[in-house]
Amino acid sequence: MNPSVPKSSAQPPSLQLFRGPLPVTARQPCALAIGNFDGVHLGHQTILRHLCQEAAARGLVPTVMTFEPHPRAFFARKHRRPELSPTRLTGLRDQVDAFAQTGIERLVIERFNEKLAELPAETFIRKLLIEQMQVKWLLVGDDFRFGAHRGGDITLLRRMAPELGYEVQAMSSITDPHGQRISSSAIRHALASGQLALATQLLGRPYSISGHVAHGRKLGRSLGFPTLNLRVPHQRPALSGIFTVWVHGLAEHPLPGVASLGVRPTIEANGRAILEVHVLDYHGDAYGKLVRVEFLEKSRDELKFTDLDSLQRAIANDIVLARRFFASLPPGARPPAISATDRI
């Protein structure tokens, strides 16, 4: 359905979201960046701010085109190689917010399917970029490949630019002050290995996941530790384990908590990932509320316990460690007051 705009009131009003081909009535000349932009990290933010500057100088709409599912995930499923599908850093809600913070005005999500994968490279340029998107200024990675059998590249884009009336610029990798390349892959590795401080440095913000609080099995409550249950946007989250967290959206200030992100091997067998958060000393009704869980420190890996008593003792110990963490913070270390819809 076009256009498709999120129904959540949390969507920044300055950003329009379109799924699939743009309707004719929405087409207007744009400056476009193409990529997956998973995480919208510091490198992406630098690139997107440059895009917005070039768009403003030319009177164009700053636009991003991305793909869903991730092309690597599509081919992993096609070839029945799930291990080749990348873990995901951000869900749509968090990604939309991060794009809006850079000044992007339009996000176009193209469905990556067999038809798009087999589209000839020149057709991709003529039909998708020029006819549909009306691209006048294009920004892509210097290793960008597109079209059937990955036949299109920056050389083809530059060769066709004079004929079709657009400019093209290749974006190079962005590095941090230490010369390390800032990439989604580096952030995935940092999160998977529990290096949350490094992930924060590369993202330019603490890693977080947002979502609406849903009803669960109430097992945490029966164990004495009631939890907020959030659906994980992608079933291959970039991190798993037990974490100390801030929870935004339940009160004027973020609240301290302990989060479990994983497949709950002690009580489940279906392998579906879920985010559960026990908010310390919180007794309100959170069902249906939109919250953001900010990950601060990893306590341990997810474990399969022999019985619920062992699980209960482990959770109690996780809470003790979290309280020690928060008690050790210097005065004023709590993030500033923020509403649930300011960031998500």
pLDDT value of position 10: 41
Query: Which of 53, 96, 18 lies closest to 341 in space, CA to CA?
Result: 96
- Residues 21 and 165 grouped into a single domain: yes
Torsion of CA 176, 36, 88, 151, to 10 degrees: -110
- Residue 311 inside a domain? The answer is yes
Query: Cα separations (Å) of 26 from 84, 133, 180, 296?
Result: 36, 9, 40, 41
pLDDT value of position 12: 43
**Helix, strand or coil, per DSSP, at residue 66:** strand
pLDDT above 70 (res 202): yes
- Residue 94 inside a domain? The answer is yes
- Residues 160 and 52 grouped into a single domain: yes
Characterise 261 by phi-psi region: left (phi > 0), alpha (psi -120 to 50), beta (else). beta
- Residue 197 inside a domain? The answer is no
pLDDT value of position 344: 41
pLDDT value of position 272: 75
Contact (Cβ atoms closer than 8 angstroms) between residue 77 and residue 71: no
pLDDT value of position 174: 84
Instruction: Return the percentage of the chain with pLDDT > 90, whole number.
Output: 59
Contact (Cβ atoms closer than 8 angstroms) between residue 295 and residue 260: no
What distance in Å separates the CA atoms of residue 194 and residue 26, rounded to the nearest whole number?
A: 43
What distance in Å separates the CA atoms of residue 121 and residue 111, rounded to the nearest whole number?
A: 17
Domain boundary among 151, 171, 191: 171
Mean pLDDT calculated for residue range 53-72: 94
Please report, in angstroms and rounded to a whole number, the separation of the first and last CA atoms in the chain: 24
Phi, then psi, of 230 in degrees rounded to 5? -120, 135
pLDDT above 60 (res 341): no
Whichever domain contains 248, its CATH number is 2.40.30.30
pLDDT above 60 (res 63): yes
pLDDT value of position 2: 37
pLDDT above 70 (res 50): yes
Higher pLDDT, 330 or 332: 330
- Residues 139 and 259 grouped into a single domain: no
Reported as a single tens digit per residue, the pLDDT across 10-46 is 444 479 999 988 888 889 999 999 999 999 999 999 9
With bands split at pLDDT 50, 70 and 90, how would you rate the model's confidence at 343?
very low
- Residues 101 and 234 grouped into a single domain: no
- Residue 63 inside a domain? The answer is yes
pLDDT above 90 (res 54): yes
Mean pLDDT calculated for residue range 304-309: 80
- Residues 161 and 230 grouped into a single domain: no
Whichever domain contains 73, its CATH number is 3.40.50.620
Predicted structure pTM score: 0.83
Query: Cα separations (Å) of 272 from 75, 110, 298, 344?
Result: 21, 26, 21, 24
Reported as a single tens digit per residue, the pLDDT across 254-277 is 999 999 998 765 555 556 788 999
Number of domains in the chain: 2
- Residue 193 inside a domain? The answer is no
- Residues 138 and 253 grouped into a single domain: no
With bands split at pLDDT 50, 70 and 90, how would you rate the model's confidence at 223?
low
With bands split at pLDDT 50, 70 and 90, how would you rate the model's confidence at 220?
low
- Residue 5 inside a domain? The answer is no
pLDDT above 50 (res 3): no
- Residues 40 and 149 grouped into a single domain: yes
Placement of tokens 């979201």 in the chain: 17
Residue 311 is part of which domain span? 206-331+339-343
Which range is least confidently modeled, 140-149, 187-196, 245-254, 288-297?
140-149
Alpha-carbon torsion 24, 28, 32, 37, what sign?
negative
pLDDT value of position 226: 87
Exposure class string for 125-144: b at 16+ Cβ within 10 A, else e: beebbbebbbbbbbbbeeeb
Contact (Cβ atoms closer than 8 angstroms) between residue 294 and residue 248: yes
- Residues 165 and 227 grouped into a single domain: no
Reported as a single tens digit per residue, the pLDDT across 101-143 is 999 999 999 999 999 999 999 999 999 999 999 999 999 988 8
How are beta strands 61-68 and 241-248 bridged, if at all? unpaired
Q: What are the residues whose beta carbons fall under 8 Å from the beta carbon of 330, sequence distance 6 or more?
A: none
- Residues 155 and 70 grouped into a single domain: yes
**Helix, strand or coil, per DSSP, at residue 225:** coil
Q: What are the residues whose beta carbons fall under 8 Å from the beta carbon of 34, sequence distance 6 or more?
A: 64, 65, 66, 138, 139, 140, 144, 146
DSSP letter for 12, please: -
- Residues 20 and 147 grouped into a single domain: yes
- Residues 113 and 218 grouped into a single domain: no
- Residue 160 inside a domain? The answer is yes
- Residue 183 inside a domain? The answer is no
pLDDT value of position 222: 60
- Residues 151 and 243 grouped into a single domain: no
